[in-house]
Amino acid sequence: MAELSGIAIGVTAERRADEFIGALERHGAEVRHAPTITIVPLDADPELKDATLKLVTSPVDITVVTTGAGFRGWLDAAEGWGLRDRLVTALGASRIYARGPKAVGAVRGAGLRESFSAESESNAELFGALAAAGVGGARVAVQLHGTPLPEHTSPLVAAGASLVEVQPYRWFSPPDVRPVHDLIDAAIAGELAALAFTSAPAAANLLTLARSHGRYDALLAAMRGGLVCACVGPVTAAPLEAAGIATLQPERQRLGALVKLLVTTLGR
Which domain CATH number covers 189? 3.40.50.10090
Residue finishing a domain among 166, 193, 220:
166
Establish if 162 belongs to a structural domain.
Answer: yes
CA distances to 14, 55, 111, 125 from 121, rounded to whole Å, are 22, 25, 21, 8
pLDDT higher than threshold 80 for residue 42:
no
Report the phi/psi class of residue 258: left, alpha or beta, with left for phi > 0 and alpha for psi in -120 to 50: alpha
Mean pLDDT across 94-110: 95
pLDDT higher than threshold 60 for residue 53:
yes
Please name the helix (run of DSSP H) or strand (run of DSSP E) that holds residue 244, with its range, or none: none
Provide the domain limits for residue 191.
Answer: 8-38+174-266
Count how many domains the chain has: 2
154 and 83 inside one domain:
yes
Establish if 3 belongs to a structural domain.
Answer: no
Range list of β-strands (E), the chain: 8-11, 30-33, 38-39, 62-65, 95-98, 116-117, 139-143, 162-166, 171-172, 194-197, 228-231
Least confident among 9-23, 34-48, 84-98, 207-221? 34-48
pLDDT higher than threshold 70 for residue 19:
yes
Least confident among 1-5, 17-21, 235-239, 241-245? 1-5
The pLDDT score that the predictor gives to residue 41 is: 67
Q: What average pLDDT does the chain have?
A: 93
Establish if 2 belongs to a structural domain.
Answer: no
For the segment 235-257, what is each residue's pLDDT rounded down to a tens digit? Answer: 899 999 999 999 999 998 888 99
185 and 127 inside one domain:
no
CA distances to 107, 116, 125 from 103, rounded to whole Å, are 6, 11, 14
Establish if 245 belongs to a structural domain.
Answer: yes
Mean pLDDT across 206-235: 96
Establish if 117 belongs to a structural domain.
Answer: yes
Residue finishing a domain among 166, 199, 214:
166
48 and 150 inside one domain:
yes
Q: How confident is the model at residue 45 (pLDDT cuts 50, 70, 90)?
A: confident
For the segment 76-93, what is each residue's pLDDT rounded down to a tens digit? Answer: 999 999 999 999 999 999
Task: Note whether 135 and 160 are within 8 A (CB).
Answer: yes
The pLDDT score that the predictor gives to residue 93 is: 96
* Whole-structure pTM value: 0.69
27 and 69 inside one domain:
no
pLDDT higher than threshold 60 for residue 1:
no
61 and 105 inside one domain:
yes
